[in-house]
Amino acid sequence: MCSVTSQVVFVGLDYHAESVQVCVLARDGKVLVNRPCRNDWRTITAAVREKCGSQTAVEAAIESCCGAADLADELVGKARWSVNLAHPGYVARIKQSPDKTDFSDARLLADLQRVGYLPRVWLAPEEVRELRRLVRYRQRLTKERKDLKLQIRATLREARQKPPAEMNPWTKVWQVWLRKTAVLSPNARLITDCRLARLAELARHIRAMERLLAEQTRHDPLVRKLLTLKGVGLVTAVTMRAEIGRFDRFRTGKQLARFCGITPRNASSGQRQADAGLIKAGNRGLRTVLVEAAHRLMRYEERWMKFAARLSLRGKPVSVINAAVANRWLRWLFHRMQPGELAA
C-alpha cells in the first residue's frame, strides 16, 4: 500500500473503446498495478485508489486517439488527476520491442511520464474540440464537392465535350450548357445529373455549416481579431481557432509554423544540405487554408507582394513562394495573437 503522504504515482492508460489497461508505477519505477479496467473514469480511479489510497497525487498519460480526450477531461475535472495526452506516433518510435501488448503499452506510457520523456500533445478544452468537429465536417463536405466536380469533368473528357471558350467552369451559364447542350450517353447523363443534384445539396449543407460556425464563434475574441486582418475570412479564422486553439501554447512563431506544416523538411546528410518540401506533419485542412490566405496576401498586401517578388527574382517556384509567405505571415501573426494583444 502506498503512503498517504504527498506520494506521487505515475499512471499509464492504454485506451480502448470498451476497456482501458491501467499501469501504476511508483517513483522508483516499481509496478504497483497493471490490469484492465472498464472504460469509465470511476472504475479507473477506484483501481488506483485501491492500491495507493485516496490522498496520493496522480500524474497520468494516455495516447491521443478517438475518445481519449473525453476520458482525460473527466479524469482532470472529476478525479482531479494531472493528465497528459501522448503523441501516438512518437510513442511507437520509442518502443524497443516489435511486440505490442496492452500490458507493455500502458507500462511504457507510465514510465515515460515518470521520467519526463512523454511526447505530449495539447489537451484541447471541450469547446475547441466541438469546434473542430464542425470545422472538419465542413472540410469533408468540401472534399466531397471537389471530388464530384472532378468526376463530372472526367465524364466530359470521356465524351469529348468541350464548352464554348468564353464559359468559365461551374458558373451558372456553364452548368446550363452541361445540363442542356453537352452530348452524353444515357448512362453518363443519368450519373451526371445525380452528381449535379448532390453538388446542389452539398452547397446547401456547406452554407449551413458556415452559418453555424459564424454563430458559434460570434463572441470569440481570437476569431474576431483574426477577422480584422486582410486576407482572413470566416473559414480561415475558425479553422485556425479550431486547430491551433491558443497561440500562446507555442514558445515561438517558428514552432507554431512547424505545427501547421508550412515549414521545409530538412533532408541533410554529411556535406549535403537540402530541403525536401514541406514537412508531412500537421493538419492538411489547416495547411490548405493558410496557403490560400497566402495567395490573398500576395494580391492585397504590399509587404507580401514585395516579399514574393524577391523570391521570384531568385528563381523560386510559385509553390515555394506561397509556402514561404504563409510561413512568414504565421510567424508574424504569432506575436499579434498573444493574450495581451487580444485584449488591446
Average the pLDDT over 181-187 and give the result.
Answer: 94
Q: Give dist(CA 139, CA 147) in Å, integer.
A: 12
Over 90: is that where the pLDDT of 93 sits? no
Q: What own/partner pairs with CB < 8 Å and gap ≥ 24 does 260-265 have?
A: 260/286, 260/287, 260/290, 260/330, 261/286, 261/287, 262/287, 262/290, 262/291, 262/323, 262/326, 262/327, 262/330, 263/327, 264/323
Which amino acid is it at 9?
V
Strands (E) in 177-324, as ranges, are 264-266, 275-278
Phi, psi of 83 (to 5 degrees): -125, 135
Average the pLDDT over 217-224 and give the result.
Answer: 94
Q: Over pLDDT 70: what percentage of the chain?
A: 94
Sign of CA dihedral 304, 309, 311, 312: positive
Q: How many CB atoms lie within 10 A of CB 180?
A: 7
Structure-block grid coordinates of residue 109: 506510457
Over 80: is that where the pLDDT of 89 sits? yes
Structure-block grid coordinates of residue 8: 506521487
Q: Lowest-confidence range among 6-10, 74-78, 143-147, 155-159?
A: 6-10
Helix (H) or strand (E) holding 13: strand 8-15
Phi, psi of 272 (to 5 degrees): -85, 125
Question: What per-residue confidence (pLDDT) applies to 220?
Answer: 94
- Confidence label for 309 from pLDDT (cuts 50, 70 and 90): very high
Chain mean pLDDT for the chain: 90
Question: What per-residue confidence (pLDDT) applies to 118?
Answer: 93
Question: What per-residue confidence (pLDDT) applies to 3?
Answer: 47
Over 90: is that where the pLDDT of 165 sits? no
Question: What per-residue confidence (pLDDT) applies to 47?
Answer: 92
- Confidence label for 270 from pLDDT (cuts 50, 70 and 90): low
Contact yes or no for 279/258 (Cβ under 8 A): yes
Question: What per-residue confidence (pLDDT) applies to 53?
Answer: 81
Question: What per-residue confidence (pLDDT) applies to 269?
Answer: 61
Average the pLDDT over 307-321 and give the result.
Answer: 91
Q: Lowest-confidence range among 2-11, 119-128, 165-174, 327-336?
A: 2-11
